[in-house]
């Protein structure tokens, strides 16, 4: 990932603000998964590319393993959130909260 698309402060902000997995909401965030939001049918704007920090959300190891296993990202998202549209809404809401946090810090 290029430095241009990496923001360690975003990861820390998300872990502090949303300490539970974005998918199951039961287990603590153990890592971040880069979702395929850009290119999804619900993508409606200038979001960063997939490898960007801002396309990542905190997940537990169990959900992360399931997405990279035979279950796949789409099925896990559909099972827990009902589909990409809800994931996109949550991610954009988190990104806007982070931007508000940055504006307040200035």
**What is the pTM (predicted TM-score) of this model?**
0.79
In angstroms, the CA 43 to CA 50 distance is 12
Helix (H, G, I), strand (E, B) or coil at 20: strand
DSSP string, 22-68: TTTSSSBP-EEEE---TTSTT--S-PPPTTSGGGEEEE-HHHHHHHH
The backbone torsions φ and ψ at residue 31, rounded to the nearest 5 degrees and listed phi first, read -165, 175
Terminal CA-CA length for the chain: 27
pLDDT one digit per residue (tens) for the chain, 106 residues: 445 557 889 999 999 999 999 999 999 999 999 886 655 555 555 554 555 677 889 999 999 999 998 788 889 999 999 998 899 899 989 999 999 999 998 7
Task: Give, as one character, the DSSP assignment of residue 5.
Answer: G
């Amino acid at each position: 990932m290029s430095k241009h698309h990496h923001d360690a402060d975003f990861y820390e902000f998300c872990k502090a603000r949303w300490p539970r997995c974005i998918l199951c909401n039961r287990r603590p965030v153990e890592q971040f998964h880069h979702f395929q939001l850009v290119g999804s049918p619900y993508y409606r704007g200038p979001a960063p590319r997939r490898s960007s920090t801002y396309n990542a959300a905190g997940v537990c190891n169990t959900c992360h393993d399931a997405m990279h296993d035979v279950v796949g990202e789409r099925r896990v998202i559909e099972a827990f959130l009902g589909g990409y549209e809800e994931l996109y809404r949550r991610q954009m809401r988190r990104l806007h909260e982070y931007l508000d946090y940055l504006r307040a810090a200035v």
